Structure 1
């Protein structure tokens, strides 16, 4: 399958979401309804079903986690340090910028690209990464910025539908559980709209954010996110001798644009909201080119 055949269908679905939101054919409430369907029902069904069936013994590889998370945390700290040195508000007020250079849109971009390029068989490696992704980066952001209580963070992660569906699927897998045929079929039906709904929501959400002000920071964060981070993951994955598919999965997750949730965190801690919103828009737009580049390099 060519790169165009992989990217174009995903792009068209996201464009439908953008067009529906931009033309106001879909109101904000309607987009929110699709988002709730995707993130509370369809994606958890997909993750739970796949995690329940994945062959764990042949899939668990600590080197995959190392290849992804060492660069992610390094880029977070590096971006934070540079922002604190250049800026005037210090480390505490620059935490969100560290998040802006390292937080990937794994569900809306990474997962669809990986499935389209390599099939659902590679989802096991994705599941090793996703549960800890938000926990690590949001946790660092909250601790450094001095916002929120650790217990509240833990509670929000435990009850997160993505994390809980993966955890329950993993538990069922370890216990050797299998679903009745009818229940399994129903779960598969709920899982099928997951990727189209996620892409539609991505496109619709982009209409809500704008590129405005602080363009130097916006461009810098986008380049760090789309080029520096995946390049570091590519190098470390090669050094750790990951298989070509394991390296592809980690690089493509790292090469995904800045996730929308980073903006929600910026609003919550009241730091650099405009810069993060701009980086979400710009990195998501440029990701069409950058993800195509990484797919070409990994092929």
Structure 2
């Protein structure tokens, strides 16, 4: 357990550093926002383009890997949606709560923890999962929300489809993924100095994003909605990785590297995107914000447990 904490604590120490810097006024709100804009709008997309551009797609894209991970993710969405409805929440709130239950922090925490635990060479399956993570889950979330808002009627299917595609295509992370896939599939020969520059910018992505995440988390306050928040935390930190672990070991016989990446990615707290999604629709904003904060804190204790269970 001590070794597992040695893996986890440096990552959360960087987040804590960002939180303290924002709390003490070393970085004010605009500075935190600027850091996150650089991380999410520039450095992270470059990291994704770099990593996916060099990914062995034939070896990394595995049906068992995707089914193990995304079955857990969509189980989290379904359990969050129906659990929220049982708690008396309206359908739009239930969609936002379900989205938080399925959208794990696959990049900022998942990649950082996996790399700390197993090294940079163990990240192929992480980036395979990430390459379809945002497009797939945002498409599902937006579609479910539009259906909930229109009560299954109203908006034409074509309009909903355009809205989904527009929302996905304008995300910088998705654009970085698209560039990486283009480089990979076309074999585009980039000069070494371009790869070198991308590596330098990409190297700043995770530390800057983690530090900025700490500053962002300072703004969130765990308020009310205790049962809904607890539901999201259990779905994110327990249900998703448990389903992924079960399918990966009992059904699909994933390799050790695939199992590590899939389970650890599934075991991450909800990403900030869960709050951004809720905020954009004005649905269950307090639940999403508090779930991101509290699940991130609690995951310091749960991630070492999953590390101990993995080979």
**Normalised by the shorter chain, which TM-score bucket?**
over 0.9
User: Is this contact kept in 1: 2:92–2:283, CA < 8 A?
Assistant: no
Report the counterpart of residue 94 of structure 1 in structure 2: 94
Distance in 2 separating the partners of 1:122 and 1:163: 22
Where does residue 249 of structure 1 map in the other structure? Answer: 261
- 165, 187, 206: which one pairs with 1:195? 206
Distance 1:152 1:124 in 2: 31
The Cα of 1:210 is off from its aligned counterpart by: 0.6
Match of 2:172 in 1: 161
Give the whole-Å Cα distance in 1 for the aligned partners of 2:305 and 2:85.
31
Q: 2:284 aligns with which of 234, 256, 272?
A: 272
Cα deviation, residue 92, structure 1: 4.4
- Tell me the SS of whatever aligns to 1:133: helix
Q: Cα RMSD over matched residues? A: 1.9
Matches of 1:88 and 1:63 in 2, distance apart? Answer: 35
**Hey, what's the Cα distance between the residues in 1 that align with 2:240 and 2:62?**
21
Deviation at 1:124, TM superposition (A): 2.5
Q: How does 1:119-138 map to 2 (within 5 A)?
A: 119-138=119-138
TM-score (norm: length of structure 1): 0.93
What is the CA distance between 1:88 and its match in structure 2?
A: 5.5
Match of 1:184 among 166, 178, 195: 195
Query: Using a 3 Å threshold, how does the CA distance of structure 1 residues 18 and 172 change in structure 2: closer, same or farther?
Result: same
Partner of 1:116: 116
Question: Does 1:151 pair with 2:171?
Answer: no
Residue of structure 2 in register with 1:298 after alignment: 310
Deviation at 1:240, TM superposition (A): 0.7
Query: Structure 1 stretch 134-143 or stretch 235-244: which is displaced more?
Result: 134-143
* 1:1-299 correspondence to structure 2 within 5 Å: 2-87=3-88, 89=90, 91-146=91-146, 147=149, 149-238=160-249, 239-299=251-311
After superposition, give the CA deviation of every residue in 1:141-179 in whole Å (9 maximum; x if it has no partner): 333332583313212322322122222222212222232
Between 50-59 and 62-71, the greater mean CA deviation after superposition: 50-59
| Length-normalised TM-score, structure 2 | 0.90
- Residue 269 and residue 177 in structure 1: after superposition, are their counterparts in 2 closer, same or farther (change >3 A)? same
Gaps of 5+ in 1: none
Displacement of 1:123 in angstroms is 2.7
**SS of the counterpart of 1:149?**
helix
Whether the 8 Å contact between 2:138 and 2:168 is mirrored in structure 1 is: no
Give the SS at the match of 1:84: helix
Note if contact 1:266-1:276 (Cα within 8 Å) is conserved in structure 2. yes
Deviates most, 10-19 or 74-83: 74-83
Work out the number of aligned pairs and report it: 298
Cα deviation, residue 122, structure 1? 2.9
Deviation (angstroms), 1:270: 1.9
